[in-house]
């Protein structure tokens, strides 16, 4: 079974530029998460989707960050404009709400963003 | 106080040793707990889930102490390949995980 897929794996941009990250969750997983991880820190939740609905976006900086999951499968996270402090790894995770380990989250490889 | 706290380490242990990490959580409403392993520049990988008092999987044992609000991870017979950062996560609200900063383990030949 394929795991969570993310692209790109690495992205280098200049500040004030826009950037987008893409995630395809594990097949059948209806819950999708976007996390941010800084060096030496644990992942921090940005947004959680149940199917196509964003059910928890309280930690998403909405002035510059946006996300969508239009058909309830893959998702895109966008930053516009990017700031130096946005340099981090952006992780996508998914879980199967109806499954036995319903809240076990599985992570993709992440996108490492560097803002110059 | 942070919701989930871990000793960052590093824990440097010889091969074959037994090592234990503790993780404390502040929200007593947390019901489920998880240990993830994260290798350098890789994503976190689920190691163990803890829903009741504990869980065991081979050389790895996780124990939950609700009274003192901590979970532990015990690794027996450490292997070089166990070297990684171990992240603890609690579920204070349904479907939302709060992670600690991780504990770094280095197993030395």
pLDDT in tens, B22-46: 999 999 999 899 999 999 999 999 9
Q: What is the pLDDT of residue A99?
A: 60
Q: Which residues in chain B are contacts of A95 at CB distance < 8 A?
A: 95
Residue pair B33/B64 in contact (Cβ under 8 Å)? The answer is yes
Q: What is the pLDDT of residue A70?
A: 86
Question: Taking 70 as the threshold, does the pLDDT of residue A10 lie above it?
Answer: yes
A97 contacts B101? CB cut-off 8 A? no
In this prediction, residue A6 has a pLDDT band, given cuts at 50, 70 and 90, of very high
CA A77 distance to own-chain centroid = 6
* Closest partner CB to A103 (pick from B8, B32, B41): B32
Under DSSP, is residue B51 helix (H, G, I), strand (E, B) or coil? coil
Q: What is the pLDDT of residue B53?
A: 82
In this prediction, residue A101 has a pLDDT band, given cuts at 50, 70 and 90, of low
A41 contacts B46? CB cut-off 8 A? no
pLDDT in tens, B43-100: 999 999 998 888 999 999 999 999 999 999 999 999 999 999 999 999 988 888 999 9
Mean pLDDT calculated for residue range A46-64: 94
The rounded percent of chain A whose pLDDT value lies above 70 is: 95
Q: What is the pLDDT of residue A59?
A: 93
Q: What is the pLDDT of residue A100?
A: 60
CA distance linking residue A102 with residue A35, whole number of Å: 18
Shortest CA distance from B38: residue in chain A: A42
DSSP state of A15: T
Residue pair A87/A113 in contact (Cβ under 8 Å)? The answer is yes
């Amino acid at each position: 079974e394929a795991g969570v897929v993310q692209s790109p794996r690495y992205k280098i941009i200049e500040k004030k530029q826009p950037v987008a990250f893409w995630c395809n969750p594990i097949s059948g997983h209806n819950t999708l998460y976007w996390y941010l991880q800084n060096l030496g820190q644990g992942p921090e939740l940005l947004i959680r989707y149940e199917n196509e609905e964003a059910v928890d976006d309280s930690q998403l900086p909405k002035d510059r960050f946006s996300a969508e999951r239009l058909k309830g499968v893959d998702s895109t996270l966008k930053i516009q404009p990017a700031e130096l402090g946005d340099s981090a790894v952006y992780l996508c995770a998914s879980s199967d709400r109806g499954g036995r380990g319903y809240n076990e989250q599985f992570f993709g490889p992440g996108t490492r963003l560097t803002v110059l | 106080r942070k919701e989930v706290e871990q000793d960052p380490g590093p824990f440097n242990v010889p091969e074959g040793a037994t090592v234990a990490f503790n993780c404390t959580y502040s929200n007593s409403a947390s019901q489920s707990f998880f240990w993830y392993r994260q290798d350098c520049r890789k994503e976190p990988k689920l190691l163990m889930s803890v829903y009741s008092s504990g869980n065991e999987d081979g050389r790895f044992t996780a124990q939950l102490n609700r009274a003192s609000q901590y979970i532990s991870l015990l690794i027996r017979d450490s292997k070089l390949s166990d070297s990684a950062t171990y992240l603890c996560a609690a579920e204070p609200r349904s479907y939302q995980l709060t992670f600690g900063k991780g504990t770094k383990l280095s197993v030395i030949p």
